[in-house]
Structures are given as C-alpha cells and as structure tokens.
Chain A
Amino acid sequence: MSERILIEGNEAVALALKLIDPDVVAAYPITPATEVVQKFAEYVADGEVVTEFVAVESEHSAMSACIGASTAGGRVMTATSSQGLGLMWEMLYIAASLRRPITMAVANRALSGNINIHCDHSDTMGARDAGWIHLFSENTQEIFDNMIQAVRIAEHPDVRLPVMVCYDGFVISHAREVIESLSKEEVQSFVGKHKASLSLLDLEPKTVGPLDLQDYYFEHKRSQAEAYKAVPGVIEAVGQEFGKAFGRSYAQVEEYNMDGAEVALVALGSTNGTIKDVVDGMNESGKKVGLLKIRAFRPFPAELVRASLSKVKAVGVFDRSMTFGGWGNPLFTEIRSAMYGTSGNGCCCGPCIPILDRVYGLGGREISMAEIEQYADEVLAVAKGEQVELIDYIGVR
C-alpha cells in the first residue's frame, strides 16, 4: 500500500533500489549521492535485499562491474555524481553500445575545476552523447517514481538501453519532502521479473565486446541509433501504466499553464518547481507565461517540443550547464534545433520565433523567483518585438 513518508532525495533513491531489489548494485560514494550507497549498504547489512552489493574502488570500476553483471544476466543498478560520472565516461558509451539495461541515479553536480560539490547539470550534459536515456526529476517524488519506471524502460525488449535518473544535487538529494511511497509487492509487480537478453552464465559460448573494424562498426552504430526510436513510445507507455497503477502519470515533457500562453519558459530538474510558482503568480496578474518542463532529455522529444512551443510567440530557455565555445548551451541548442527546419530539404519551415538562452545556477548558485520573473518579463518583451541579448546569464556577477 502506498504510504506518505518524509524522506530525503538520496534516501528515496535507496528506497527505490530496495523495493526493486536488483541482482547486483556496484557503486562508489561521491557527494552529493553518497547517502544512496550508505543507505543501501544498511539494507544489505540488515538482509532486506537479495542484491549482491559490490563496494568498488572507483566509479570506473562501478560501471565496469555493472556492465559485467548485466552481461552475466542480472538486473543491475548504481548511483553517482559529477566527477564520478566523469570517471565512468569511457564505460558509459560501452554500456549503451552493449545494450545493457542498467539503471543509474545521478545527483547532478558541477564539474571541477575548481572543485564544487553543488548542483548544476554539467555532469550529465557531458554524457549526453553516450547513448543513455536521461530522465530528469523535479522533486523527490519524481526521483522515486523515475527510478521504478527506469527499470521498465531500460529492460523493454525494444529498448535495452541504460537509463540515468537525474536529480539536482543538494537541492533535491538532501531536501526532505513528503512522498507517496509504494510497497515492495507493488514495485515488484510493476517492474516484473528481469528477462535478460544475454547471459554469460548460461555457459553457451559467445563473444561480447569484440573488435569491430571498418567493415561492421558503422552498421552496429547505425543499428544502435535505431533503438532510440522506440524509446519515446516506451517512456510514454510506462508513464501511463505507472499512472494507472499508482495515480501519478508521466510523459516525456510536461506542459504547465501552456493553454493560451504567449511565451514559454523551458527548464530541466528542480528549477521547474520554482518556475511553476512564478508562472502562477504572473498568470494571476494577467501575464501569459507558460512552462514546458523537459523530463526526457535523451532521447530528445523534438516533436513534442515543437508542438508545444509552436503555440507561443517567444521562448526562454534555462540552461544549468555550459558548452564552452559553442553557440548557445545544451538545452537551448536542442530546443533551437527542434524548432527550425523540420524537413530534409533545408528550408526553414519551423515556427520562426525568438528563443533566448540564459545560463543560471552554476555550482549551486541559487536562482530566485524574482530572477525567474524578470527573465519571463524579458521574454514577454521580446514577444512584442524588443531586442535583447540572445544568449546571456542570470545571477552572475
């Protein structure tokens, strides 16, 4: 039975892990995800899970052991953050290329240097081309729910890809919130038994991870790319099924007060919660501002973004990471790319509306409701023809 509990973000991840009870968890502690490993180790020590917990000596080995365990046929999960994700970088690509349905919780944190333990999205944005499915969480309830759905998405026979569940470090990882928890029976019934697509332990001779040269490598990458086409449908179907079972439905994106909106804000993660409050206030004073929350960043839901943002006159994107030397930052470039030139002949047949990019919150810098409102006002002014900087910052000296 679902139960209302007060819980920290990291503990919610650990609780989800306990209820899923995977065959193997291989993980290494790192701020701000450390409590996931600690709490899970308590469950192991108290015999509350069947999981074999491998307390590895690095994140590189964490992901390597996850790949090994998944190749052996197990349901496998881990957690990390920031530099740890950076150290895994090589193995992230291999996990996806070997089509290993591993689920990983990532407490989003800034990357060194200089060293900073607080939230931004630089870590997972650096891994955006690795082949993982990226689900962002707005609050603790969403982390918990995303972890459980991630197993189903990753292991779907049309998908078989790893999923990272992203949640803002400290902002959510260390905040206590009341969530609706689920029972072990409910979670077990939702995730089902793991049906491995591959198991070294069946002892049938097989070679996984061969040398792949000019004559086949490209075809293998091409066939991997095909797998991502099935993902959006699976995310939506699993999100609907979760809603039917537990009363909370999920999709790739969430529109908030977009009906009749003149402009839209777009963001990832916990900032969406703050933006919703700002939008409510502005709507009450007659300002037509809506929000498009991106839950699935990979695969990027371009068609849904296009359909949603085509209804407005200007868009303001929030980027919590930077692409140094690039033109615009990660979320902005995805949004712009989705909005322009939708046919193959190169013509600009998308909706030609102004799209602004604002980098905010790097290294855990707070963003205030006043700053969000000021940005929304700027986007409203741009919708009326005012010229402003296209790519800029919020809250930096």
Chain B
Amino acid sequence: MASLKELSTKQEGLVGGHRLCAGCGAPIAVRQILLASEYPVVVSSATGCLEVATTIFPYTSWDVPFVHSAFENTAATVSGIEACYRSFVRQGKTDKKIKFIAFGGDGGTYDIGLQALSGALERGHDFLYVCYDNGAYMNTGIQRSSATPRGAATTTTPAGTAVPGKQQHRKNLTEICAAHGIAYAAQSTAGRWQDLTKKAAKAIEVDGPAFLNVLAPCPRGWRYPTPDLLSICKLAHDTCYWPLYEIEDGKYTISYKPKEKLPIEDFLKPQGRFRHLMAPGNEGLIAQLQADVDSEWERLLRLAGE
C-alpha cells in the first residue's frame, strides 16, 4: 500500500473549490478512494450533497470523467458505462484498463437506489459502489433514511415530547450487499485514511462488483463542531457503533478492535442529534442502542472467528 507521502504526490481526482461543508466526511472519503486506484477511473454519482456541491455549472471539482443523471440510479448508470466498456474491449475499440466507481449517499443507496444497486451487483458488473453514509438525507435538510440510527433526531423524526427521534433500528446495508455473493464488501470510514485507502485499493482490484460502506459524518445533521470530524469517527469505531470489517469471498475480518470498547454514550454525547436522549426518561432508548451495537459487534466477532 502507498504511504501517505506517496499518496500526497498523486494527482487528485476530486480537487478543491467545491462547496461541501467544512467538517464533512464525504470529500475526504472520495479523495482517498480515488487516490487508492492504480487504474484510471470513470465516476458516476447519485444526486446528493457530493454531486450538487462539486458540479455547480460552469465549475467542477472532478478531474476524472464524471457523470450524474439522477438520484436512484447511479448503480444502473455505471452498469451501462461498464457494459459499453466491455463491448468496446470485445470489439477491440479500446485496450485501456479502466475501473468504474459509483458514489451515493445513504439516501441514494439504502433507500431509493437499493433496487438499482441490487440489480447491478447481481449482474456482476466490474465496478465499486461506495456509499458515503451520513445517516440521513442531508442534502434536502436532514430527513431520516433507513440508515438513520435509532434515537436520532432528524427533521422527519424530530425529538418530540411524545416520540423521541427515530424509533427504528438502521438497515444493515453492508450485509445486504454481501448477501449478493460479491467478492468484496467492507465498512470503512472517512476518519482512518489507511483503512480506507487499503480497502478501496482491494475493492477496485476485484474483477466484479465490490461494495464499500464508508461512514462520512455530517456536521449539520449530526450537529458537531466542524473540527471534530475525526474525533467523531474515532468514537464511532471505539464504541463499535461503526465496526470496521471486510467480507472477502464470504470470509469476515475485523479491521479494527478497540483496546477498550467504549459505551455508546461516548459516541452520542458530542452530537446534537442525540441530545434529547440524555434527558431523564430516555435511558431505555440508550440501552436499546447499546444492545443494537453489542449484538452486531458480537455477531461480527463470531463470524470472524474471534
């Protein structure tokens, strides 16, 4: 794997000047993933923060071939691009080795784009799908998605006097993707560059579909001070709220095991979206969140043979 020094000399695929917020995890993740590729890439993106903030006509931050068409279809769009590439290779119209990456937020992936993603994974296109998961529809103003964690306040699951935020457990998209029998699925984070670039390089190398679910915190939606991005990521891993792991040909590997597994409150407390949970009477919700985290972590340890 390339060192940070080596990566710093590579040409960036996503350059500065975009309008993503300070403290946003998405552009960090995208830059590191693009830097990890040994091959030229073509990028497709779903509608979302990443797309609207990087392509405001007549400007663009993408220094690679990039296409966006709609919200729910980036996996289908990349299917078409990859199919055309295959056709060209078969006809001898190109001999370049090119890789294809689709980016979508959790709204565009867990929810509205799930069908297109499932179809593309099943068809076996050679592409990497990256979900930058910030746990809500941040682009339209922090509405809940099926990636929103239990208890979080969003603008469609507000912390009211009768209902304290989102009541449902979040969907496990990484497992859903892995269940398609793809060669590589993993969870990573914008907060650990080595983990992310290593996994991105592996995922890109796979001949066939690969999936990366990348935790990409959002200061607006999660309500944390913008300099705290990396510490929020670290708490997500140290509490095992966001386990870092890989599934390679069905084999589970835990990428990071905290020396001391912190209580979920440590992840919740710095974030405004969970503030209401700290009020007396909501201890039950926190206990349930802790139980969600524990059961998933134990499941992963078991599957990884640890």
Q: Which residues of A contact B (CB under 8 A)?
A: 23-24, 26, 50-52, 54-58, 60-62, 64-74, 76, 90-91, 94, 98, 200-213, 216
Contact A24 B57 (CB under 8 A): no
Contact A94 B70 (CB under 8 A): yes
Which residues of chain A are within 8 angstroms of B65 by Cβ–Cβ distance? Answer: 200-206
Which residues of chain B are within 8 angstroms of A65 by Cβ–Cβ distance? Answer: 76-77, 79-80, 83
16 further A-B contacts with Cβ under 8 Å, apart from A61-B75, A212-B57, are A24-B83, A26-B79, A50-B87, A54-B80, A64-B70, A68-B69, A68-B83, A68-B84, A72-B85, A72-B88, A73-B84, A200-B65, A200-B66, A203-B65, A206-B66, A207-B62
Known: A68-B79, A212-B57. A74 touches B69 (CB 8 A): no
A5 to B258, CA, bound (A): 72
Across the interface, name the chain B residue whose C-beta is closest to A54. Answer: B83
Interface residues of A: mostly helix, strand, loop or mixed?
A: mixed
Which residues of chain A are within 8 angstroms of B281 by Cβ–Cβ distance? Answer: none
Known: A201-B42, A203-B96. A67 touches B51 (CB 8 A): no
Some 7 contacts from A to B, beta carbons below 8 A apart, are: A61-B79, A68-B79, A69-B84, A71-B77, A201-B88, A210-B55, A211-B57
A206 to B61, CA, bound (A): 10
A206 to B72, CA, bound (A): 22
A391 to B42, CA, bound (A): 53
A206 to B42, CA, bound (A): 10
Known: A54-B80, A74-B84. A98 touches B69 (CB 8 A): yes
A90 to B72, CA, bound (A): 11
Is B301 interfacial (CB-CB < 8 Å)? no
Query: Which residues of B from 66 to 100 have beta carbons under 8 Å from A?
Result: 66-70, 72-73, 75-81, 83-88, 90-91, 94, 96, 98
Contact A24 B84 (CB under 8 A): yes
Which residues of chain B are within 8 angstroms of A203 by Cβ–Cβ distance? Answer: 40, 42, 64-65, 96, 98
0 or 1 for each of B119-133: is its CB under 8 Å from A? (1 = yes): 110110000000000
A56 to B75, CA, bound (A): 11
Which residue from B42, B58, B70, B122 sits with its C-beta under 8 Å from A200?
Answer: B42
A74 to B60, CA, bound (A): 24
A311 to B47, CA, bound (A): 52
Contact B52 A211 (CB under 8 A): yes
A51 to B87, CA, bound (A): 6
Is B304 interfacial (CB-CB < 8 Å)? no
Contact A69 B70 (CB under 8 A): no
Contact A26 B83 (CB under 8 A): yes
Which residues of chain B are within 8 angstroms of A74 by Cβ–Cβ distance? Answer: 83-84, 87-88
A69 to B84, CA, bound (A): 5
Which residues of chain B are within 8 angstroms of A67 by Cβ–Cβ distance? Answer: 69, 77, 80
Chain B min CB distance to A152 (Å) = 20
Known: A57-B119, A211-B56. A68 touches B76 (CB 8 A): yes
